[in-house]
Amino acid sequence: MSSPALEIGALAAARNVVARDLLLAFRRPGDWLQPLAFFVIVTMLFPLALNSEPSVLRTIAPGALWVALLLASVLALDFLYREDGHDGTLEQFALSGQPFAVLLLAKTATHWLLTGLPLAIVGPLAAVSLGAPGGSMPGVLGSVLLGSVSLSLLGSIGAGLTLGLRRGGALLSLLLLPLLIPTLIFGARATQLAILGDSAAQPLYLLGALAILSLTLAPLAAATAVRISLE
């Protein structure tokens, strides 16, 4: 195909998408700060609702952290495609002649930079506030960092499927949370081992494998999902 739109390569186009989405996000910080605030509030609820005894908190910390992370990630998916689907940007992407999956992957990568990465930085702090020893922070950071990659990528499929639906929010949770369970299991296990001071290598490898699997397959599924929703 020799359409004029292909004057730049796919990578340059993807870079433009990242730059554009970052610029838009910095003009409207509320979108990506809300999931972060949500995460902090939910982790804060556990010591208040349960028991602020440090030994109790330390045992529930991995679970509390990962449940809050999963919910915050699903909440954050709301703004992945919504605006661009609404104003026709995604249709222009689809018509541009550039590989659609690459452009959407660029969007998902930006979304991860704005939500997954901040959550990964705040995650270890939340773990320490729940009584985890300071030495566990690298392990917790690694598990949340790797896990959030899978969460964003798998989430992009769900966001594509529910794009433009009126009752999207609750439906998105119903579709996605079952799909995110393996990430939750290995992520919570890695965090638990890190807090106990043991080697978290095994679940971290599995989290890495999940992240790579998601990186290879999820962009294609997400591109198909968005195409179906645009039709």
Partner 1 sequence: MAWTWLHRFGSPPHFYRVAGKLIPWFAWPAAVLIAVGLVWGLVIAPPDALQSDAYRVIYVHVPNAWLSLMAYTVMAVAAGVGLIWRIKVGHAVAVAIAPVGAMFTAVALVTGMLWGEPTWGTWWVWDPRLVFELVLLFFFMGYSALRGAIEDPDRADRASALLAIVGVVNVPLVHYSVVIWRSVHQGSTVFRSGGPAMPASMLWPLLVAALGYTFFFGAILLLRARAEVLNRERSGSWLAQLAED
By CB under 8 A, which span of 42-50, 113-121, 135-143, 171-179 interacts with partner 1?
A: 171-179
Residue 67 lies near partner 1 (rule: CB under 8 A): no
7 belongs to the binding site for partner 1 (CB under 8 A):
no
d(CA 141, CA 89): 35
The answer to whether residue 211 forms part of the interface with partner 1 (CB under 8 A) is no
DSSP string, 49-98: HS---HHHHHHHHHHHHHHHHHHHHHHHTHHHHHHHHHTTHHHHHHHSSS
Query: Contact between 157 and partner 1 (CB under 8 A)?
Result: yes
CB under 8 A, 24+ apart: contacts of 92-95: 93/17, 94/226, 94/227, 94/230
| Residue span 173-192 as binding mask against partner 1, x where in contact by CB under 8 A, dash where not | -xx-xxx-xx----------
In the complex, what is the shortest distance from the CB of residue 74 to partner 1, in angstroms, rounded to a whole number? 13
Residue 212 corresponds to which tokens in the numbers above? 């790579």
> DSSP character for 182?
H
Q: How far is the CB of 93 from partner 1 (least distance, A)?
A: 18
Rounded to a whole number of angstroms, the minimum distance from the CB of residue 172 to partner 1 is: 10
> Is residue 231 involved in binding partner 1 (CB under 8 A)?
yes
Q: Tell me the residue ranges of DSSP E strands in the chain.
A: none
Nearer to partner 1, 40 or 175 (CB): 175
Give the residue among 186, 80, 106, 210 at the shortest CA–CA distance from 194: 186
| Interacting residue ranges for partner 1, rule: CB under 8 A | 157, 161-162, 165-168, 171, 174-175, 177-179, 181-182, 221, 224-225, 228-229, 231
